[in-house]
Chain A
C-alpha cells in the first residue's frame, strides 16, 4: 500500500510563473490536507479538501493560491504568478475519513514538494 505521493519533489520557477503541485492520497483515503513549511519554521495549515469539495481554506492566501481534489485524479495545489516568498516546502497529508472515530483523522504525510522561486 503506497503512501502519500507528491510530485514533483523539487520545482523551480521564475517569478511570475505558475506552480502546480500534485498529491495522490493513500489508497482508501478521501481527505486531503495541504501544509506549507517555510525555511526554519513549523508547518502551517493551508487547505482541507474532500473529493470535489473544499472543506476549509482558511489558511490559504486569498490571492494566487487555489486547490482542488477532483473526483478522479490527484489533488492539485496551484500557485499563480509566484513570488520569492512562495519558496517553501509544501506537504500534503491524507486521512482515511470514516473508519471509526479513532482512526478518522490520523494524517499521513507525503515527502513534500520543495518550491524554489528564482
Chain B
C-alpha cells in the first residue's frame, strides 16, 4: 500500500502554543519523509525532512518525531506564530529510486494572535 494518512484535517492554535500534526504510513519501504508548507496561491515549500533511522529531527521551532515500529511520524511547531498559518502536508518517498511523493491529505493550521 502507498497511502499516507494525516490528521487532523484542520487545527486552530493560539499564538505561542504548540501545533502537532500526525501522519501514518503503510509501506515500510518508504525511506524519506518530508513535510511541506503551502500558503494560499503558492506552491508547496519543503519545510523539514527525516529518514527512518532517526527518531527526531529539529530545525528551529519545527521538530519531526518518528516512530518506525508504529509507522507514524509527526510535526511539532513550537511557539506557533500567526505567520505559521498555512496548510501542511506530510509525504513519503522512496529516496533512492527517484520516485513520486505520496502526500497526506493536508492540515490547515490557523494560529490566532
Assembly CA distance A45 to B44 (angstroms): 14
Q: Is the CB of B98 within 8 A of A31?
A: yes
Q: Is the CB of A111 within 8 A of B99?
A: no
Q: Is the CB of A95 within 8 A of B104?
A: no
Q: Is the CB of A48 within 8 A of B98?
A: yes
Q: Is the CB of A48 within 8 A of B100?
A: yes
CB distance from A72 to the nearest CB of B (A): 22
Known: A42-B106, A104-B95. A56 touches B100 (CB 8 A): yes
Assembly CA distance A56 to B97 (angstroms): 12
Tell me if A17 is interfacial: C-beta within 8 Å of chain B. Answer: no
Q: Is the CB of A45 within 8 A of B98?
A: no
- Number of chain A residues close to chain B: CB under 8 A: 29
Which of chain A's residues has its CB closest to B106's CB?
A42
Contacts of A6 in B (CB 8 A): 43
Which of chain B's residues has its CB closest to A4's CB?
B43
Contacts of B42 in A (CB 8 A): 111-112
Assembly CA distance A49 to B93 (angstroms): 16
Assembly CA distance A37 to B53 (angstroms): 31
Contacting A112 at CB < 8 Å: which of B34, B43, B96, B99? B43
Q: Is the CB of B46 within 8 A of A108?
A: yes
Q: Is the CB of A42 within 8 A of B99?
A: no
Contacts of B43 in A (CB 8 A): 4, 6, 91, 109-112
Assembly CA distance A33 to B103 (angstroms): 14
Tell me if A54 is interfacial: C-beta within 8 Å of chain B. Answer: no
CB distance from B35 to the nearest CB of A (A): 12
Tell me if B102 is interfacial: C-beta within 8 Å of chain A. Answer: yes
Q: Is the CB of A43 within 8 A of B95?
A: no
Q: Within B74-113, which residues are at the interface with A (CB < 8 Å)?
A: 89, 93-106
Known: A106-B34, A109-B44. A48 touches B99 (CB 8 A): yes
List of 8 A-B pairs having minimum Cβ-Cβ separation, nearest first: A109-B43, A45-B100, A111-B43, A43-B103, A42-B105, A109-B44, A42-B106, A42-B103
